[in-house]
Homo-oligomer: A and B are copies of this chain.
C-alpha cells in the first residue's frame, strides 16, 4: 500500500507572479494569443482569472508546435515592466507543451469581446466561455452567491438541499415539467417553498441555493426554464418588513463581498456596483397610480406589473431617490399563492413584496400563513384539496412560528447587476424552450 498525503499544487496567477519579480517562476495556462514580432513573440497565457504576458525569444527557440489554445507549463524570469498592464512580463526560458488542440476555434475568442450573436455564443458555449470577458460574468455570479452565503451563515441561517423531484407543486401543477418516477407521476420542483417552510420549523432560519424549474412557454429575454434560485425563509418575524430588511442587509453584504474579492472582474466588465444605503418601498397600488399619472399610461393588468411598468417604476424611483432598487409591497391576493398571508382587515392584499432592480423583478417574497386552520380555510377557498397536501400541512398542524421568506432568481440578478439585456448571458448553459444543448 502507498500513502496519499493531503497536498494541492499551488495555482499561480498574476498576484503570485507579481510577488516573484526578479526570480524564476513556473506556472501553467492556456495559450490565449501569440503575437509575432521581429525576433520575439508575445505569448499571452490565460490562467484561471488572468492573462499573463510572456515574451519568447524566437531567435533562440521557436517551439514549432506551440499554438493558440495549447496547454503549457512555462518557466521564466519575472521581469518588472512598467509598460505591461500587470507591471511585469515573463521572459520565457522553457515551454513544456502539455496538450494541443485539434482545431482552431469556430469563433474568435481571444479578442476583448467575442464578436458573435448571442445564439452563436451559446451554441459554442464550451469555447466562447474561454474568452476573458465571457467567463468573468460567472466569476461575478460565483461572488454574488458566495457573498450571500457568507452573510446568511453569519446570520445563523442553515443551508439546506431539498429534493427537486416532487409529487406536486406548491403553486399547482401548471407550468411544471413532469416525469415518470417508478410508475408514479412526478414533477420537477418549481420552488423549494414547501421544504424551506418545513425546515424553518427545524432550524428557524434556512436558505437554499439550487435549481428551480418552470415549464413556462415564455420565449423572452428574461425567462429561463431552469434557473438558480436563492431561497431563504426565516421564523419568528414580527412583520414581512423584516424579510425586506434582511434582503437589504444581504445585498449590502453581497456588494461589499464583490468589491473585496472580484475587483479584477468588476473592472474588466466595467460594472458599477450599486451603493445601497436603504431601499425605497412603495405599495403596489401606489406604484400603479404613480406610473399611470406620470406617464399617462393605462395598465392592462390590474393585479401585476407589465414588464414595461417595472422599467418605468425603476426609472421614477431612481429619478426621485437615486436608488436602483425598489421594493413593491402589498400585491393583490388574487395574484399571490395560497400560502401568502393577507393583510389584516384587508383581504385583497397580501403581506408580500417584490424587489425590482434596474427595471426588472429579481425577488418575490412575503409572510406565510402559519396557522393550521387559516391555511386549510385558504386552500378550500382556492378550490384545493387539503388532503393532497397532508405532508406540507404537518408544518402548520404541529406548530410553526410566524415566518416568511423570499426567492431570488440568480441569473436575473446577475444580468441586472452587469447591465445585460438577456438573462441567457448570465446562465452558464441556459435552458430555454429551444435550447437543451450544450
Q: Which of A86-112 contact B (CB under 8 A)?
A: 98-105
Query: So how many copies of this chain end up in the complex?
Result: 2
Comparing A6-14, A17-25, A76-84, A417-425, the segment that makes contact with chain B is: A6-14
Q: Are A245 and B202 in contact (CB under 8 A)?
A: no
Q: How far apart are the CA atoms of A215 and B276 in the complex, in Å?
A: 46
Q: Is there a chain B Cβ closer than 8 Å to A182's Cβ?
A: yes
Q: Is there a chain B Cβ closer than 8 Å to A367's Cβ?
A: no
Comparing A52-60, A235-243, A303-311, the segment that makes contact with chain B is: A235-243
Q: Are B2 and A99 in contact (CB under 8 A)?
A: no
Instruction: State whether A397 and B165 are in contact (beta carbons under 8 Å apart), knowing that A179-B188, A202-B129, A278-B5 are contacts in the complex.
Output: no
Partner of A235, one of B71, B135, B203, B245: B71
Q: Are A165 and B130 in contact (CB under 8 A)?
A: no
Q: Is there a chain B Cβ closer than 8 Å to A394's Cβ?
A: yes
Q: Are A402 and B202 in contact (CB under 8 A)?
A: no
A1 and chain B: residue at smallest CB distance: B280
A245 and chain B: residue at smallest CB distance: B7
Q: How far apart are the CA atoms of A49 and B178 in the complex, in Å?
A: 37
Q: Is there a chain B Cβ closer than 8 Å to A382's Cβ?
A: no
Which chain B positions have C-beta within 8 A of A191?
none
Partner of A391, one of B126, B251, B282: B126
Min CB gap A435→B, angstroms: 10
Partner of A397, one of B101, B138, B400: B101
Interface centre among A163, A188, A252, A392 (most CB of B within 10 A): A163
Comparing A266-274, A336-344, A370-378, the segment that makes contact with chain B is: A370-378
Q: Is there a chain B Cβ closer than 8 Å to A396's Cβ?
A: yes
Contact with B along A156-168 (1 / 0, CB 8 A): 1011111111110
Partner of A1, one of B2, B209, B321: B321
Comparing A33-41, A113-121, A426-434, the segment that makes contact with chain B is: A426-434
Q: Are B401 and A98 in contact (CB under 8 A)?
A: yes
Q: Is there a chain B Cβ closer than 8 Å to A205's Cβ?
A: yes
Q: How far apart are the CA atoms of A251 and B5 in the complex, in Å?
A: 11
A109 and chain B: residue at smallest CB distance: B398
Q: Are B177 and A158 in contact (CB under 8 A)?
A: no
Which chain B positions have C-beta within 8 A of A28?
204, 235-236, 401
Q: Are B5 and A203 in contact (CB under 8 A)?
A: no
Q: Are A159 and B145 in contact (CB under 8 A)?
A: yes
Which chain B positions have C-beta within 8 A of A5?
245, 248, 277-278
Q: Are A248 and B4 in contact (CB under 8 A)?
A: yes
Q: Are B245 and A398 in contact (CB under 8 A)?
A: no
Partner of A3, one of B13, B278, B431: B278
Q: Which of A161-195 contact B (CB under 8 A)?
A: 161-167, 177-182, 184, 186, 188, 194-195
Q: Are B226 and A3 in contact (CB under 8 A)?
A: no
Q: How far apart are the CA atoms of A184 and B225 in the complex, in Å?
A: 14
> Top 8 A-B pairs ranked by shortest CB distance?
A101-B399, A6-B249, A391-B438, A69-B399, A71-B401, A102-B372, A6-B248, A3-B278
Other A-B pairs, 5, CB within 8 Å; known A125-B198, A177-B179: A6-B249, A6-B278, A30-B399, A99-B370, A102-B372
